[in-house]
Amino acid sequence: MILGIDSGSRTVAEAERLLHSVVEALGLPSGVIGCTHFVRTGALPHVACSVSLEADAGGDAGLSLLPEGVSAALGERRTGPDADGAALAAAEHAAGRSGRIVLFPGRDELTGTLTVGEILAHSAVERVVVLAQVEEPDADTAVVTNDHVRPEWRDGVLTLVTMPASGGRLTPAEIPNPTPCCADHA
């Protein structure tokens, strides 16, 4: 069962904070899968979230425990003004079509430099790919995680997208704290 949540977050960082606060408010275990999704509902595009729940959660699954101002979608149940965005995020997560995965089993183990094989063996990441390359990297290829690993759904598979780094190593394609566009033009 997938819970969609939305508070109209304008940035990915804001949506990640929302996701963490909802997981904490609901008392969900550390092994949940939680995602951010770019959605276009209402007047402006924004970032909504989704989180997996236990199959037996049923009913409202603690929707009353959600922080104030958070819209939600769980199955056919909808609450709040941004429920359409929440429903879209939940549907994308459930289908494995899209979503940037923030929370997943093994996430806390992916720090420092690891091999592709270690990432696959010790986390829910199922596939590692390199931008603009057809072949997947060898299992012994080093990945400098920068302590920031955000896989994504690709065809229903948790996929970590990487890019080449110095010394024949790889690094996740999403970097922590990127410089905003035009920051050096102000």
- Count CB neighbours of 118 within 10 A: 16
| CB contact at 8 A, 90 and 3 | yes
Pairing state between β 127-130 and 157-164: parallel
Beta-bridge partners for 52: 2
Distance between CA 175 and CA 144 in Å, rounded? 11
Cα 85–chain centre separation: 15
Q: Is 33 exposed, middle or buried (0-12, 13-18, 19+ CB in 10 A)?
A: buried
pTM over 0.95, yes/no? no
pLDDT in 10s for each residue of the chain, 186 residues: 899 999 999 999 999 999 999 999 888 988 899 999 999 987 789 999 999 987 655 446 567 788 888 999 999 999 998 999 999 999 999 999 899 999 999 999 999 999 999 999 999 999 999 998 889 999 999 999 999 999 999 999 999 999 999 999 999 999 886 556 655 555
